[in-house]
Chain A
């Protein structure tokens, strides 16, 4: 029997509030060390925490977006341990009563190896609010470590999944879906380099039909690639250990991206006795049904709902709908473009997924940095739809627009890209071609339909490429038929 890998993820998302979860200090990234650590963040004697409404609002949004239970009453608890980047000697978190309860997330797992692309539902156990710790800087300060507490107190939503994930590809798909979602609903900027989105992976292996194995927790994975590599390495290591007759001890490990290995953390947190108890400085958090409804009205249409709508109402393929809803920016751009040419959703989709994405890719830009607006793109697509320009002409317009800006009509005018759709002029060209090529006309009429392409080529050449192709085809067919 083969081994089954069992994975649960704990994802720490920094919430995009202006101020910290329990103090009025700024959460902006990249400030000089300790310039954004106020009295509360430094845990000066006598200071007290007051909860940031913005952090709670974002937790509610997440709960709504994952169909989770939002606790009408939740409690903040202290998690006690000593660490220099934890100024109070405890982290304010939630333990027994988290703000968000059971929910779920549907993920798309792309094809890989033997497995086909598939959808999967990953259950979310809970999501709770807590504060981030500061940072330890290990550069050498005469053999000492420097502590920067700017990050201390930044709000985190820790999202805990059930152990529903079975391989690294699913783990990455889940993490990516979560990453998309938190940015989509605007609760986290998702910047993984800055640590806004960090994953811990609990990995164990067992034989199907037997109880789950002992898990080891891989801490602080801050890229999807590392997540994948770390899980693959860890699972492989565990299987090998067990097959060699060894046992797995519960442990916290770190992933070393240079070596591609996981290793035990050297700091042994003595038996993890965190001595959780309700924080007496904070009162129970009550969330009223009215508040939840207010927040619901601010929630954008979610990716899954959008996908379904694109397929059912706009007639897009599931594949296209998936790509267009991969990010909020993409979907917003698509919809804004589509508003300009309401009847041509498929055209919009093709261009966004095709030319626009390719060009962004080449230039190394994100959707948000796209040099052309949806208005510009829509304006051009409108001219394709009404046959003012050909596809070839459109590509020309697009390139110009991308490089120099300007609206489609002006570029078409300036470049003389307007198609010839004047039936009289086109008929005249066709008549001349038929007259000049009697042998090929005879072949065609004799049943050799491949010759049709020859006439199209001549016609386009004669019109200097401006002929409306559909119209030209129609005239050619009619006249060649005799």
Chain B
């Protein structure tokens, strides 16, 4: 059951081989056993999950054929879910029980899925190792000394450890793809605007995008079908025809042109990762694809640009956390300014405060043009690089992360080293393109390697097809960490 695909689980549920309550309980039991060590979940609420499972069972009995009905899905703790504690990995929201549902959550609810719990994450999604969570670091199921990546590290670990059937993530600079790569699972960040951001706690509004994290491309297509779609409550949600992301899964890859950006295979990429990615490209050639050498000359600037734009937006987005209407308020304070300063200083962790400081500085008087405006202009150059590249190829491939999972505490106190671990993923967010990571082998230390697939705008169905054909031909995605 634990290794079944979502389609197989759906079939089993509808055939009454298992009930949603039984399936949910199975996962809850696994969480109870494994989570104390992995720390993949911040909050589980068996009562609420089982109540939803019972409702799902009734729906199934009444003939509901929704593919996700009764399937336990975990939500990254960045999504507001009514009645659920929603912390965003922060002390600031340690006591915040959401009074409303995020669009993504209500989409899963109406599809009949069961909310299995809220997964751990870097605080306010700011991090690449899950070490910034107020609720403690998540352990990588492949090696408990290693990080799972971030910020959707809890989700990645939960999927890898079979602590849920599938789960959601969000990606601002690589937060779906990088942990997917480091935990040996599949993750997709859709085109900006395809999934509503309503109810997803904002980090950097112009870059944030929610997406599925699962064990296969096929599962992700099913999840994306539920998550994607227009939402009038998000001004940046795009009004497009509803599409079936699974429609092209099985299309042969003959004639597929794969662009390989030179810049993604240069210095900084560790040899074991390069080797696994090369092997994957070779496999694609066997599947009928051809390879094109491309260049993304401005992508080297994506880290500096990102560390101006994302903190700038974040510094403003996080101003609402002031201890007035919800969330953490310092137990002792003097006047109003003191209440603000103490609540925010105690409520936010070091990395969040660091980024608020960066963002406040780059927006402040006299620096705006040199930093924020300059970054926005280079952002356009980065996006234009992709537009030109897609004249010559259908998808772009490369490594998701320059290394496999590093050890907890390894990057220590050097934020810059941590920031550089997102070097291959950030440009995609800046351009607003869809990006994906799928497992493509293992590195020296037997840790998973991720292959990044970048598509043109709205090309998610083709990317899922590209991933699915590879997963039909290889078995990296079904490998399971030992002891799981």
Q: Could you tell me which A residues sit within 8 Å of B by CB distance?
A: 39, 42-51, 78, 80, 82, 84, 87-90, 147, 271, 273, 275-277, 280-283
CB contact list, B302-357 vs A, under 8 A: 312-313, 315-316, 318-322, 324-327, 336, 340
Kindly report which residue of chain A lies nearest to residue B368, judged by CB atoms: A277
B residues less than 8 Å from A271 (CB atoms): 365
In the assembled complex, the CB of B40 is this many whole angstroms from the nearest CB of chain A, namely: 22
A282 and B80 alpha carbons, distance in the complex (Å): 21
In the assembled complex, the CB of A265 is this many whole angstroms from the nearest CB of chain B, namely: 14
In the assembled complex, the CB of B357 is this many whole angstroms from the nearest CB of chain A, namely: 13
Kindly report which residue of chain B lies nearest to residue A277, judged by CB atoms: B363
B residues less than 8 Å from A283 (CB atoms): 235-236
A358 and B205 alpha carbons, distance in the complex (Å): 59
User: B198 and A275: CB pair below 8 A?
Assistant: no
Q: Given A48-B234, A50-B233 in contact, is the A43-B320 Cβ separation under 8 Å?
A: yes
A residues less than 8 Å from B368 (CB atoms): 275-277
Q: Given A44-B326, A87-B325 in contact, is the A280-B206 Cβ separation under 8 Å?
A: yes
The 12 sampled A-B contact pairs (Cβ below 8 Å) are: A45-B86, A45-B321, A46-B202, A50-B233, A50-B234, A82-B322, A87-B325, A89-B318, A89-B320, A147-B324, A275-B364, A277-B312
A340 and B172 alpha carbons, distance in the complex (Å): 69
User: A281 and B340: CB pair below 8 A?
Assistant: no
A residues less than 8 Å from B293 (CB atoms): none
A residues less than 8 Å from B363 (CB atoms): 80, 275-277
A80 and B102 alpha carbons, distance in the complex (Å): 25
B residues less than 8 Å from A80 (CB atoms): 315-316, 319, 363
A29 and B309 alpha carbons, distance in the complex (Å): 39
A418 and B336 alpha carbons, distance in the complex (Å): 76
Beyond the given pairs A48-B198, A89-B320, 9 more chain A to chain B contacts, judged by CB atoms under 8 angstroms and listed by A's residue number, are A44-B99, A45-B96, A45-B320, A48-B235, A50-B235, A84-B324, A90-B319, A275-B363, A277-B372
A271 and B366 alpha carbons, distance in the complex (Å): 12
A86 and B127 alpha carbons, distance in the complex (Å): 29
User: B319 and A82: CB pair below 8 A?
Assistant: yes
User: B364 and A89: CB pair below 8 A?
Assistant: no
Tell me the dominant secondary structure on chain A's binding face: loop
A198 and B312 alpha carbons, distance in the complex (Å): 32
User: B235 and A47: CB pair below 8 A?
Assistant: no
Q: Is B232 an interface residue (CB 8 A)?
A: yes
User: A50 and B232: CB pair below 8 A?
Assistant: yes
Tell me which of A78, A82, A275 has the highest count of chain B C-beta atoms within 10 A of its own C-beta. Answer: A275
CB contact list, B192-246 vs A, under 8 A: 197-202, 204-206, 232-236
A284 and B336 alpha carbons, distance in the complex (Å): 35
In the assembled complex, the CB of B355 is this many whole angstroms from the nearest CB of chain A, namely: 15
Tell me which of A45, A51, A276 has the highest count of chain B C-beta atoms within 10 A of its own C-beta. Answer: A45
Q: Is B126 an interface residue (CB 8 A)?
A: no
Q: Is B109 an interface residue (CB 8 A)?
A: no
A residues less than 8 Å from B365 (CB atoms): 271, 273, 275
User: A82 and B340: CB pair below 8 A?
Assistant: yes
Q: Is B277 an interface residue (CB 8 A)?
A: no
User: A45 and B80: CB pair below 8 A?
Assistant: yes
User: B326 and A46: CB pair below 8 A?
Assistant: no
User: B322 and A280: CB pair below 8 A?
Assistant: no
User: B320 and A87: CB pair below 8 A?
Assistant: yes
Q: Is B25 an interface residue (CB 8 A)?
A: no
A residues less than 8 Å from B204 (CB atoms): 280
A49 and B200 alpha carbons, distance in the complex (Å): 13
Q: Is B23 an interface residue (CB 8 A)?
A: no
In the assembled complex, the CB of B48 is this many whole angstroms from the nearest CB of chain A, namely: 19
User: A89 and B322: CB pair below 8 A?
Assistant: yes
User: B235 and A45: CB pair below 8 A?
Assistant: no
User: B364 and A273: CB pair below 8 A?
Assistant: yes
Q: Given A43-B325, A277-B316 in contact, is the A282-B235 Cβ separation under 8 Å?
A: yes
A87 and B199 alpha carbons, distance in the complex (Å): 16
User: A48 and B93: CB pair below 8 A?
Assistant: no
User: A280 and B205: CB pair below 8 A?
Assistant: yes
A residues less than 8 Å from B321 (CB atoms): 45
User: A89 and B102: CB pair below 8 A?
Assistant: no
A89 and B325 alpha carbons, distance in the complex (Å): 12
Q: Given A271-B365, A283-B235 in contact, is the A45-B316 Cβ separation under 8 Å?
A: no
The 5 closest A-B pairs by CB, nearest first: A89-B319, A275-B363, A280-B205, A280-B206, A43-B320
User: B80 and A44: CB pair below 8 A?
Assistant: yes
Q: Is B88 an interface residue (CB 8 A)?
A: yes
Tell me which of A49, A51, A84, A271 has the highest count of chain B C-beta atoms within 10 A of its own C-beta. Answer: A84
In the assembled complex, the CB of A89 is this many whole angstroms from the nearest CB of chain B, namely: 2
A48 and B193 alpha carbons, distance in the complex (Å): 13
A271 and B365 alpha carbons, distance in the complex (Å): 10
A351 and B100 alpha carbons, distance in the complex (Å): 60
In the assembled complex, the CB of A285 is this many whole angstroms from the nearest CB of chain B, namely: 10
